[in-house]
Amino acid sequence: MLFGFDDKQEFIPQIYRYLNNQELMLTFLTQYNASVDSALKIPLLYAKNTKSLKMIFGNFLHDIMHVSFGKIQNINIKLNAYAFYFQKRKSLIFNTKISKNIDLLRLLRIYLYGICF
């Protein structure tokens, strides 16, 4: 009984098939947050008004990857490589204050390759 997604499809257990889309997204995000450490948790707000499980991660990543053009602290080249596939219009991704407590690299991997539990 898998619950999650990969790059091609979503895996939804039979027990959750009766839920409407918003309840399904909220159930997935609640179970996801219960099974990961605090650096990977996503606020439940991102489960609202989404059409797919992958879209939850996409919306969250889009919000935290917004770069304010203040003082640049450092550049993470490895993170830049993953971010390139997620958001092609930005050439560099900088570590800002908001992403220091979020494991952005692991969240990008989940978004690109999927997660099941």
Condensed to tens digits (0 to 9), the pLDDT of residues 22-61 reads 999 999 999 999 999 988 999 999 999 899 999 999 889 8
Distance (Å, whole) CA 42 – CA 96: 18
Q: What is the pTM of this model?
A: 0.69
Strand order in the sheet with 115-116: 10-11, 4-5, 115-116
Mean pLDDT of the chain: 79
**In terms of C-beta distances under 8 Å and separation of at least 24 residues, what long-range contacts does 22-30 make, across chains too?**
22/47, 22/48, 22/49, 25/50, 25/53, 25/56, 28/3, 28/4, 28/53, 28/56, 29/56
> Which amino acid is residue 77, in one-letter code?
I
**Predicted pLDDT at 19:** 94
Q: How confident is the model at residue 87 (pLDDT cuts 50, 70, 90)?
A: low
